[in-house]
Copies of this chain bind each other. A is one copy, B any other.
Amino acid sequence: MKKIIIAMCLTSLTTAGYGEQSDVAKFDPNMIVKNAIVDDSGVKWIDGQYLPLEGKAFSDVDFFYDRLPKNVTTNVNPGVRNIKHHSAGLQFRFKTDSGKLWIKWTPRNRELAMDHMPSTGVSGIDIYAKGDDGVWRYVKTGRITNPDGGVCELGWKPGTPCLINLPLYNGIKTFTLGIEANATVEALEPRTNGINRPVVFYGTSITQGGCCSRPGLSFVNIVGRQLDVPVVNLGFSGSGKMELEMSEHLTNIDAACYVLDCLWNMDNPTVEKNYEPFIRNLRSKCPNVPIVMAEQCDVFSPESNYKDKVMRNLYEKLLAEGWKDLVYLPKTKMYLDSEGTVDGCHPNDRGMMSLAVAFGEAVKIALDL
């Protein structure tokens, strides 16, 4: 009976291929012209829904900045259904000839911070500029102390590619970009490395970005910048449990690669029960998409734990069955030393950087970069 219900749910899910339906693809400069409002001080305000947005994989959502579609069912744990409203991994990417930028955003939740993660990371934004050498460099943080919203103003070198990372542990109610009245916004060129479908990370609080100091320092966002690949962040704090339905949502993204990073959120029996059906469904629906299987990061020990071993055995079994494009990411390189976390579990900015290197290497192998 249970099986039948799951099957029904799976078939009722709508397809939302990233390449086809993403908001990046839908970006239309004319929409900006139509919807922009110039205020008395000569600032032209553009709502975020008309800006080129990456990291959003689904269009059929409850709220515009959600990370999963509205049809996520109760076969997925309630944490996911709540945390899908957080904007982790979403990022505006554009060029503008404006010499100044104004940004206003309002968060969904009034609780702006966690005790081990500041509001800059939970509810803030940060802005990067791409240099002539092709490297994205940090420019400014949009700090937020008022739950009614944050504002950020900065000078801008006209024509420089701009990247704005959205909050990791809060949702976005509204986002508005201000540019000079005569300026325009355009989408960035497709990536020259040919990777224009996203690397999809599915995982835990750590994947979601806990506990870095600002959004650009989540390891998922670092990998995106360093490898110059689009990323989709499906990290759900405490809730990455690999239910079969979640694999179906992943298959609905036209992905370059899947990274499975859920072990922290599953106990031993759940790994034994969920991992194999999950990965088999993913591969059967998306046979050509490489998959990275990540061990559970551990700042205290490089030794594999029971769950890692279950996953390793599964990996060996799948290889023996002839699976290709399966990358195993051991935990050994995820942390450099004992200083990579804020609390023994969640990476701080130092840990995020080493995780980004480890995950980045695995993704490079998966994508032949």
A interface list, Cβ under 8 A from B? 112-120, 124, 137-141, 143-145, 211-214, 216-217, 222, 299, 337-339, 341-344, 348-353
For the complex, give the distance between the alpha carbons of A57 and B140 in Å. Answer: 37
Pairs A–B under 8 Å by Cβ, sample size 6: A113-B113, A115-B144, A115-B145, A116-B143, A116-B213, A214-B343
Chain B positions within 8 Å of A350 at CB level: 217, 349-350, 352-353
Residue of B nearest to A354 (CB): B350
The answer on a CB contact under 8 Å between B116 and A141 is yes
Contact B349 A339 (CB under 8 A): yes
A36–B143 Cα distance when bound, in Å, is 45
- Interface contact B339-A217, CB-CB below 8 Å: yes
In the complex, are the beta carbons of A120 and B112 less than 8 A apart? no
Q: How far is the CB of A36 from chain B (nearest CB, A)?
A: 29
- With A and B bound together, what is the CA distance between A353 and B342 in angstroms? 14
Residues of B within 8 A of A214 (CB): 342-343, 348
* A137 in contact with B338 (CB, 8 Å): yes
* Among candidates B113, B114, B339, residue contacting A115 with C-beta atoms closer than 8 Å: B113
Closest residue of B by beta carbon distance from A212: B348
Question: Once bound together, how far apart are the Cα atoms of A342 and B341, in whole Å?
Answer: 16
- The docked-state distance in angstroms from the alpha carbon of A231 to that of B175 is 45
Chain B residues whose CB sits within 8 angstroms of the CB of A212 once the complex forms: 348
B118 A116 Cβ-Cβ under 8 A: yes
For the complex of A and B, 5 pairs with smallest distance between CB atoms: A213-B342, A348-B349, A137-B338, A138-B338, A213-B348
Name the distance in Å between A23's Cβ and chain B's nearest Cβ: 27
**Sample of 6 more A-B contacts, CB < 8 Å, known A115-B144, A211-B213, A348-B348:** A113-B118, A115-B118, A118-B118, A118-B342, A137-B337, A138-B339
Complex: how many Å from CA A349 to CA B299?
A: 15
Closest residue of chain B to A350 (Cβ to Cβ) is B349
Closest beta carbon of chain B to A122's beta carbon, Å: 9
Give chain B residues whose Cβ lies under 8 Å from the Cβ of A145. 115
On whether the beta carbons of B344 and A138 are closer than 8 Å, the reply is yes
How far apart sit A137 and B301, CA to CA, in the bound complex (Å)?
Answer: 12
- Is B348's CB under 8 angstroms from A217's CB? yes
**Cβ–Cβ contact A343 & B115, under 8 A:** no
In the complex, how many angstroms separate the beta carbon of A262 from the nearest chain B beta carbon?
24
B-side contacts of A213, CB under 8 Å: 116, 211, 213, 342, 348-349
Q: Is the CB of A143 within 8 A of B118?
A: no
Residues of B within 8 A of A113 (CB): 113, 115, 118
- Contact status A120-B353, CB under 8 Å: no
Contact A120 B339 (CB under 8 A): no
Q: Which residues of B contact A211 (CB under 8 A)?
A: 118, 213
List, in ascending order, chain B residues with CB within 8 A of A342's CB.
118, 120, 141, 213-214, 349
Q: Which residues of B contact A351 (CB under 8 A)?
A: 349
